[in-house]
Amino acid sequence: HSTGETELCFEVEASQSVQLELLTGMKFTFDAGVKVAVFTWRGCSVQLSSRTEVDTPMLLYLNIPTTLEQMQRQAEKEEERGTRVMVVGPTHVGKSTVCRLLFNYAVCLGHRPTYVELDVGQGSVSISGTTGALYTEQPKDVEEGFSIQAPLVYHFGSTTPVTNSKLYNQITSCLADVFKQRCGVNRRASVSGCVINTSGGVKVSGFQALVHAASAFEVNVVVVLDQEPLYNELKRDFPHFVHTVLLPKSGGVMECSKDFWRECRDELLICCFYRAFNVRFSDVKIYKVGALTIPNSYLPLGMSQEDNQLKLVPVTPGRDMVHHLLSVSTEDLFKTSVAGFIVVTSVDAEHQVFTVLSLAPGPLPKNFLLIMDIQFMDVKQRSAGCLAAWDIETFTLLKADGLR
């Protein structure tokens, strides 16, 4: 039994499954590797074998939705745009959890905020190696995540922004432009604002990426988790109208290993790729965004290393493509939302074809492919709810007026 204003934290061990049941009848099932925190305002009775955390910052967290709601009402009254909240901090401090809390509260209060995912290692809107945004009327479910319908997704190709900071900032700007265009034609979307989750980089290029994202989305509220130096730097650099808040991280937050995140990515990808078909070399054009870094002394006169980061390098199909993920794109490539994803399972150089797995049957809707650094080798035949595949009407709509 939990008393009011307390939090229950637990972690599900590998190869185990745990059921959490409110004794009033609601039941939730959590699979291996999941870390969960359950907060109660007035007290509740739950059935679970685990240890509880007595100290919790959840009351501080819950003050934020209350303040944001007051700002939303003021914006509606004065016919101004709503709050645009960005949650920042280093890795393993609970940014995604706080974003989900803020987003769900806003939806439950009748708003329709846009959820923006800038953490390329996370993949809550799409798969890892991408940034994305979605506009939904439903809260993020505690078990299933978002009800994903026609998300706006941009190719990045890696799980860390520092691998290509210029490309990361470029697609952040593209995402922000589409969001602002939508707010210009949809009053409710404008008043409802957005919630932005960010990557864990907070130093040098990571800090610059945060400042760029805040400027691109014109955020007016920044929540900093567990990083007072970052809070002071942002407070110093941001305009006076940006409200910056420092919050502690929850005691229930645990540091996850790279192997854990890799397993999480593979679990998602298993759901996405289970239909196989062949693609001829001649039917597609494959590119990688960003050329290899070379010494400055070898660069052409007037060219910088940053110019190479957005360079499109043609890729010749070969065995080194096996297990790599590829984004299916249009002729504008990384400047527009992708149409879907495939993973290469084999390459037949003699017959000039390669075999791919996807969520949708062939053929490919577009013939431009962007290769990722991310590989996926576990190709189990499983079909579960995941990212929508080649919905050309939806894709055309997203490209035309974005996220409607």
402 domain residue, yes or no: no
399 domain residue, yes or no: no
Least confident of 2-11, 61-70, 186-195: 2-11
pLDDT digits (tens, 9 = 90+) for 28-86: 777 766 777 777 777 777 776 545 445 677 788 888 988 999 988 888 888 889 999 99
Q: In angstroms, rounded to a whole number, what is the distance separating the alpha carbons of residues 60 and 29? A: 28
146 and 32 co-located in one domain:
no
How many domains are contained in the chain?
Answer: 3
Backbone angles phi and psi of 174, in degrees to 5: -60, -45
233 and 273 co-located in one domain:
no
Q: Give the domain-ending residue among 192, 221, 247.
A: 247
Contact criterion met (CB below 8 Å) for 192 and 111: yes
CATH number of the domain that residue 166 is part of: 3.40.50.300
> Which residue range(s) make up the domain with 280?
259-390
191 and 263 co-located in one domain:
no
38 and 124 co-located in one domain:
no
Q: Give the domain-ending residue among 188, 223, 247.
A: 247
Contact criterion met (CB below 8 Å) for 137 and 384: no
73 and 177 co-located in one domain:
yes
Give 154's contacts (C-beta < 8 A, 6+ positions apart): 130, 131, 132, 171, 174, 175, 334, 336, 337, 338
75 and 211 co-located in one domain:
yes
Q: In angstroms, rounded to a whole number, what is the distance separating the alpha carbons of residues 201 and 195? A: 18
Query: Is residue 145 predicted with pLDDT exceeding 70?
Result: no
Give the pair of three-digit tokens for residue 328.
Answer: 């299916």
Give the pair of three-digit tokens for residue 375.
Answer: 């590989």
pLDDT digits (tens, 9 = 90+) for 212-238: 999 999 999 999 998 999 999 999 999
Query: Is residue 297 predicted with pLDDT exceeding 70?
Result: no
397 domain residue, yes or no: no
SS3 46: strand
Q: In angstroms, rounded to a whole number, what is the distance separating the alpha carbons of residues 327 and 395? A: 14
pLDDT at 347: 95
Q: What does DSSP assign to residue 265?
A: H
CATH number of the domain that residue 338 is part of: 2.40.30.330
Give the pair of three-digit tokens for residue 262.
Answer: 């890799």
Query: Is residue 91 predicted with pLDDT exceeding 50?
Result: yes
Q: What number is the average pLDDT over the span 243-253?
A: 86
Nearest to 202 by CA among 243, 162, 259, 242: 162
Q: In angstroms, rounded to a whole number, what is the distance separating the alpha carbons of residues 153 and 398? A: 10
Give the residue, 292 or 134, on which the prediction is more confident. 134
Cα 168 to Cα 248, 293, 336, 338, 352: the distances in Å are: 28, 17, 13, 15, 33
368 domain residue, yes or no: yes
Q: What is the mean pLDDT of the chain?
A: 81
Prediction pTM value = 0.79
pLDDT digits (tens, 9 = 90+) for 352-378: 999 999 888 888 988 999 999 998 876
320 and 346 co-located in one domain:
yes
